Every structure is written in structure tokens, then in C-alpha cells.
Structure 1
Amino acid sequence: MPERRRGAALEKALLDAAWEELAERGYARFTMDAVVRRAGTSPPVLYRRWPDRDQLVRAAVVHIMRESLLGIPDTGSLRGDVLALLREINATRVQLVTVMSAHLAGYYQETGTSPDDLTDPAVTARREAVGVLFDRAVDRGEIRPERLTERIKSLPFDLLRHELLTTFAPAPDHVLEEIVDTIFLPLVR
């Protein structure tokens, strides 16, 4: 007989099951019953935490975003740090980007939200993580802090996401270098 899960372990199992359902079936075919079956639990256990599928989807996305935080590289230069982070995202996050954009399109339409609403850096802790990378570059004198708007900070990552969504495959390395060298770095120096 399997051990009964409680607390954080149960919540993690439920959110992992919800994410797996989203990744495999998309939002249009996502059901609370499928999550219950996948998690091996009962409907009251799930509904006690999330009364409807939209709340469960939101919780599953925040959960996976927090779990999938990447380490922030420290190569000694802004160029090296941004390229290393883009390469890691490119190598490991194509499915995440695809699910967040393509599989959840129906969710955004039904709830009147957007991917930005689900991936709020303040909620997922991404802003603080990437902020360290830029703070180090300012401290090293590589960039001018007044040029670091939130849009500029997100630009290399937004361009990579666009590339991933137009190809549904990792971007070639020369594309990553072009994003950093010809688009991003000239804006911050």
C-alpha cells in the first residue's frame, strides 16, 4: 500500500500531475478528474485546494516556474553571463516555453489573462534571480544602470522565447550570439 502523502508532498504531487496534464493534453483537454487520476488521489483532496481548473492551472504554472529556476551564471562578464543563461534556457526549456504559450492559449482567452500574468517574475522569483546578473555587471562597470529598464533586462530572453515559439526547437548558437552582441549589448553600453 502506498504511503499517504500530506502537506507539501501532497501539494507537490498534485501540482506536478496538473503540469503533466497541461504539457501532454493542453488546456482545452485539461480536467480536474484527469489530475486526480494522475496524482492517485480523490476529488475532495484536489478541490479543497483549488476549487476550479483555472485556479489549478495558475498554481501549477507558478509551481513549475519556481521549480525550474536556473542557476545564474557568473562568467565574469555580462556577455558571458547572458549567453550562458540563454544557452541553458535554449537547451532545457523548449517544452516549458511551448506549453506556456501554445498549450495555454485557451486559458488566456477564457480568463482574459496573458502569459505575463502567469509568469510574473515577482511571484516566480525570476526577477531577483536575473537581477543579480545585471547588478554584477553594473558593479563591474560594464553597463550604465540608467539604461537598465525592465524591458531592456527582459529583451534577450523575450527574443529567445520568440525564436523558440517560431521554430518549436532550440535556437542555433549563432542566433543566441546575435541576440546578445548585436541587439542587447549595444542598448546597455
Structure 2
Amino acid sequence: MDQTRRRRGSTLEEAIVEAAWDELREAGYAKATMNNIARRAGTSKHVLYRRWKNQPELFLAALKRFAATADVPDTGDVRDDLVALLGRIRQVFDLLPGDLISGLITDSRNDAVLFDEVRTYVMGEGVHDVTRVILRRAADRGQIEPGLPAARILRLPIDLLRNEYLMSRGPLPAETVTEIIDDIVMPLLRPAARR
């Protein structure tokens, strides 16, 4: 008699999150279903709902797991660091199902806690922390004015890239990153004497 061992705890949760990611990648946000995710994970829909109260919550968990934020690049040059950071984020965006971010934003609007989580992740709070490190290093090297720029300038690179992603119908070209950094961000960061 073949006895299949039941997965539990983190092993089961990892299988579910991986199944959710696979379903998102193949079906897209709008067509992904909890039934299909449960089937892929080899469990029941009931098990999914015990861990996540709704589909957007599970999809956010999958996004966090499989689209991790980037490490802090350190090339020695602020412009190159920012290009490297945004380039990595562009690659993550290119892996995402096209309707994932917009679907999460829309579907989480009626759940304040989930919306805050989605907003924090989608707004790139972790990326802003990385950007702060890059800019502090650049200030220490004299490449930009001392002190951090205004919060909006700090958020600007990821905000612009995310907008390009949300408004596109496919992968973003690599030059999108260099245009954002060279044409918009660097002119805001350069010391006045270098402008």
C-alpha cells in the first residue's frame, strides 16, 4: 500500500505559494483560481483559505517570495549604482504576469490591512531603503550633495519604472532604466557645480 505522507507547516505553505506563483505566471492574475492553485499544490481549497483569507493575500505572498527586492549595488559611482538597481527591478517586473500589480491594487482596495501591505510592497519601501544606502555612499564620495534628497526624489526612480511597467504591454526595454536615471534622476541629484 502506497502511503503518501501529508505535507504540513512550512513545507505545505511553500508548495502552495509556489503553486500560486506558477498559476499566476501561466494563467495571469485575472484567470488564476484558488481551485487551480490547490490542485497544483496537491491540497484542498479549504487549506488555502485557512492560511490566506483571500486570493489577493495569497498572490501577495507569492509575489514577495518570488520577486524579492534587489541587493545594494556598489560600483563606486552613484549613476551606475542606480542603473544597476533599477535594472534588477526591471528584470523582476519582466518576470511578473502583466496584470499582477494592477490586479492586487484593485482587489485590495476594500481591505485596509491588505491594501497597506500591497501599497508598501508595490511602492517599493525596501527599494527605497536600498536607494538611501546608495545615495549616502554617493554623498560620502562627494558625487552628490550631502544629506538625503526629499522623499519624493528618493521614490522617483522606482515610481517612474513602476509607472512604465503598469502602462506597458510587455517587457520594458533596458534603455527605459538609463533614460529614467540619466534624463530625470541624475539632474536632480548632481551637486550644483556639476550641472
Q: What TM bracket, shorter-length normalisation?
A: 0.7 to 0.9
How does 1:31-46 map onto structure 2 within 5 Å?
31-46=33-48
Q: Which has the higher helix share?
A: 1
| Structure 2: gaps spanning 5 or more residues | 191-195
> Structure 1 residues 69, 118: closer, same or farther in 2, change over 3 A?
closer
3-state SS of paired residue (1:98): coil
Question: 1:16 aligns to what?
Answer: 18
Distance 1:3 1:57, change over 3 A: same
Give yes or no for contact 1:26–1:103 (8 Å, CA) kept in 2.
no
User: Percent of counterpart pairs with the same letter?
Assistant: 38
Aligned length: 184
Counterpart CA distance in 1 for 2:142 and 2:5 is 55
| 1:113-128 equivalences in 2 (<5 Å) | 113=115, 116-119=119-122, 121-122=124-125, 125-128=126-129
**TM-score normalised by length of structure 2:** 0.74
Structure 2 match to 1:176: 177
Post-superposition Cα deviations, 1:110-140, rounded to whole Å, max 9, x if no partner, equal 6584852553545xx4343333222212222
Change (3 A) 1:154 1:172: same
Matches within 5 A, 1:10-159: 10-65=12-67, 68-96=68-96, 98-104=98-104, 106-108=106-108, 113=115, 116-119=119-122, 121-122=124-125, 125-146=126-147, 148-159=149-160
Structure whose CA Rg is larger: 2
Question: TM-score w.r.t. structure 1 length?
Answer: 0.76
Distance apart, 1:87 and its partner CA:
2.4
What is the alpha-carbon root mean square deviation over aligned residues?
3.0
Q: Structure 1, unaligned stretches of length 5 or more?
A: none
Q: Deviations over 1:38-61 (max 9, x none)?
A: 111223432221233243233333
